[in-house]
Amino acid sequence: MRYVSTRGHAPAVDIATALSAGLAPDGGLYVPETIPQAAGVAPGMSLAQTADALLAPFFEGSPLASRLPGICEAALDFPAPLRRLAGHDHVLELFHGPTAAFKDFGARFLARALEALRRPDDPVTTILVATSGDTGAAVAAAFHRRPGFRVVILYPHGRVSPRQAHGLGCWAGNVRAFRVDGSFDDCQRLAKQALVDEALRRRVSLGSANSISLGRLLPQAAYYAHAAVEFQAAHGGLLNFVVPTGNLGNATACWLARRMGLPIGDIVLATNANDVLPRYFGGAEYAPAATRATLANAMDVGAPSNFERLRHWHATDEVLRGSLSSHSVDDDAILAAIDDAHRRHGEPLCPHTATAYDVLARLRAAGDRRPWAIVATAHPAKFEAIVEPRLGRVIDPPPALADCLARPASAEPLAPDYDALVDVLLH
């Protein structure tokens, strides 16, 4: 399989190059030249086996192909259970990894894949990551103590929860966390600029782990494939998904699984008050906007980076609008959803998952009776300051998160300024 840029002005590359580069040299995102049909995904498989079967065609012809089963086993060694909430409402729990959010799947896969690509005399690779909270922690955990790698994290100061900040700053060793005086979009712009800076890249070996990274996108398709195949085996029919959405990595992976032929029905993107996608899917021009701070802060994105991939894969805007839909959920509705899920199901939800819960409630109110799964993107204990007062009780963090919280944490200040970042990367 060969990989091309969404912008069409860069040569086609193999998967090893696409994984290491992050961004294509023309500033576009790498996509596979064709989307293969899934073969060999069957009920009864583990998540790792599902990923191996699903992703094998993407690695065909690469020296990494023979390493793929081992990469999947090592990276995807925790479950993604599909649980029934009530009636035809389900929840796909993606928070059982080391940092209690779905980004563990992609970050761990990418780390193992890049490790498999290293040659003994390669220079140390700096993984540069801009984060609105959960990415940085997942990437730090995935690369922590991995020889040959160091991690530089950029996050918007004051815009992540105290526990998220702790999860970014608790690693030490080969991980440095920087709190940037700016928004997430500022952080992302700085990281993108560094990754296309040829002069800089001659002096330091840079790697990307943002949601633009193909090595994060591909493995995320595996849990949708696994859930949909298991659901079909047990109940027959298609499973529909509501995906809490920010940079569109998770939802694009769901779309990819459906396009590969997995039994997935409708896919609805739940956003917070940052409503660029609902406006677009409602018929307006695509218009990136300044980011607004919300309770679901890992989705505070005004210019969803994977949109470029979705556009590449659909011939026209009309076709794309027919393929997905999107609804915005404001902070009041997030809080009401947290209350409602707890009252009706005894289910604590994180604020991101609450956006999907609210969207499903609206679909049910409009008479939709099909099977749906809302995607639980983080454990509610990560957002205790929001969730606990609503529930009137303490939510215990899962063990890995509790370990991280027990360690000291620190971050260094950084101006939202490219020269300041270059300075950090060179020293």
Task: Compute CA distances 165 → 16, 144, 189, 355, 381, whole Å.
Answer: 32, 17, 20, 22, 14
Site size with ligand PLP, rule: CB under 6 A? 17
Bridge partners for 85 per DSSP: none
- 244 contacts ligand PLP (rule: CB under 6 A): yes
Which residues face 32 on adjacent strands? 3
Q: Which is nearer to ligand PLP, 101 or 229 (CB)?
A: 101
Residue 376: CB minimum distance to ligand PLP, A: 9
Site for ligand PLP, residues 211 to 240, rule: CB under 6 A: 211
CA quadruple 404, 407, 412, 416: dihedral, nearest 10: 20
Residue from the set 1, 175, 225, 248 that interacts with ligand PLP by CB under 6 A: 248
Classify residue 122 as exposed, middle or buried by CB count within 10 Å of its CB (0-12, 13-18, 19+).
exposed
Task: Decide if residue 91 touches ligand PLP (CB under 6 A).
Answer: no
Site map for ligand PLP, 309-328, x if CB under 6 A? --------------------
Residue 101 or 267: the one with the smaller Cβ distance to ligand PLP is 101
The backbone torsions φ and ψ at residue 420, rounded to the nearest 5 degrees and listed phi first, read: -65, -40
In the list 214, 298, 363, 391, the residue contacting ligand PLP (rule: CB under 6 A) is 298
Of the candidate spans 78-86, 177-185, 241-249, 286-294, the one that interacts with ligand PLP by CB under 6 A turns out to be 241-249
Among 320, 352, 373, 414, binds ligand PLP (CB under 6 A): 352
249 is a site residue for ligand PLP (CB under 6 A): yes
Spatial CB neighbours of 346, under 8 Å, sequence gap ≥ 6: none
CA contacts within 13 A on the Cβ side of 91: 22
Q: How far is the CB of 349 from ligand PLP (least distance, A)?
A: 11
C-beta separation of 116 from 65 below 8 A: no
Is residue 246 at the binding interface for ligand PLP, with CB under 6 A as the rule? Answer: yes
Closer residue to ligand PLP (CB): 10 or 360: 360
Shortest reach from residue 263's CB to ligand PLP, in Å: 22
- From candidates 49, 50, 183, 250, binder to ligand PLP by CB under 6 A: 250
CB nearer to ligand PLP: pick between 141 and 298? 298
DSSP 97-147: STTSBTHHHHHHHHHHHHHHH--TTPPPEEEEEE-SSHHHHHHHHHHTT-T
Q: State the Cα angle at 248 between 243 and 249, rounded to 5°.
A: 95
Q: Tell me the β-bridge partners of 29.
A: 23
Closest CA to 92 of 289, 376, 427: 376
Interface with ligand PLP includes 378 (CB under 6 A)?
A: yes
Site for ligand PLP contains 247 (CB under 6 A): yes
Residues 101-120 that bind ligand PLP (CB under 6 A): 101, 103
Which residues within the stretch 158-217 sit at the binding site for ligand PLP (CB under 6 A)? 211
Q: Between the CA atoms of 134, 137, 138 and 139, what dihedral angle is there, to the nearest 10 degrees? A: 120
Rounded least distance, CB 281 to ligand PLP, Å: 14
User: What is the C-alpha to C-alpha distance for residues 133 and 85, in angstroms, rounded to an integer?
Assistant: 27
Touching ligand PLP, residues 123-152 (CB under 6 A): 134
Select 134 or 422, whichever has its Cβ closest to ligand PLP: 134
Chain residues that interact with ligand PLP, rule: CB under 6 A = 101, 103, 134, 211, 244-251, 298-299, 352, 377-378
